[in-house]
Chains A and B, each alone.
Chain A
């Protein structure tokens, strides 16, 4: 199982703060494409984190069982 977390403006579109999917053996890129096909997130600048680390280039990353992916809208602290 892989946990996907949504925050702020994104959680509003997905209508949930997290979901689990059966997608081990897939790449981060495939999972992100799947998320973007299910939800209309085009209007929000997105960042992705894998196990709490920001991923700059999503291309070559393999996802393993129990990984946590976060889809993050712009940061607004301060």
Chain B
């Protein structure tokens, strides 16, 4: 059975939300290692114009399905205690956090490998779209590069 989790957050992911997520795991005594990946909106410069924000949208039904597959695969492949994925929707300013992956396990090796894998899969397989907005309100559609 696939468990649907709340992954999408309207607006930026706040440092307080991240801190609370860490705090919630302090009761789980079998965890010995956490690893966190945070994606931040970068003020890229394109032909002399700076990106001031990214507006994220998604194909929610498919994105949720894909994310639960990624989750299941990660638990099958790695010895994990916990994993959480959060992604922003809406307009996120440069400098704000838009992507949060939090992986926990008994020991550190598993969490490094799992985090890298999960981040790559979210970027390549989940239908999330981004509009990069410039300072003059012009925009371009974001395409992930690797």
Contact = CB atoms under 8 A, between A and B. Distances in A.
Contacts of A8: 57, 129-131, 141
Contacts of B125: 75
Interface string A22-63: 000000000000000000000000000100110000000000
Interface string B93-106: 00000110000000
A75 B126 contact: yes
B117 interface: no
A21 interface: no
B11 interface: no
Name the interface size band of chain B. Answer: 20 to 34
B62 interface: yes
Interface of B: 39, 56-59, 61-62, 65, 87, 98-99, 119, 122-131, 141-144
Q: Sorted from nearest, which 8 A-B pairs have the closest CB atoms? A: A77-B128, A8-B129, A76-B130, A76-B142, A52-B62, A9-B141, A78-B123, A74-B143
A70 interface: yes
B68 to A, nearest CB: 11
Given A7-B127, A7-B129, A8-B129, A76 B143 contact: yes
Given A72-B127, A78-B128, 6 more contacts: A5-B59, A7-B127, A76-B128, A77-B87, A77-B130, A77-B144
16 contacts: A7-B59, A9-B141, A52-B61, A52-B62, A70-B127, A74-B129, A74-B143, A74-B144, A75-B123, A75-B124, A75-B126, A75-B128, A76-B128, A76-B130, A77-B87, A77-B122
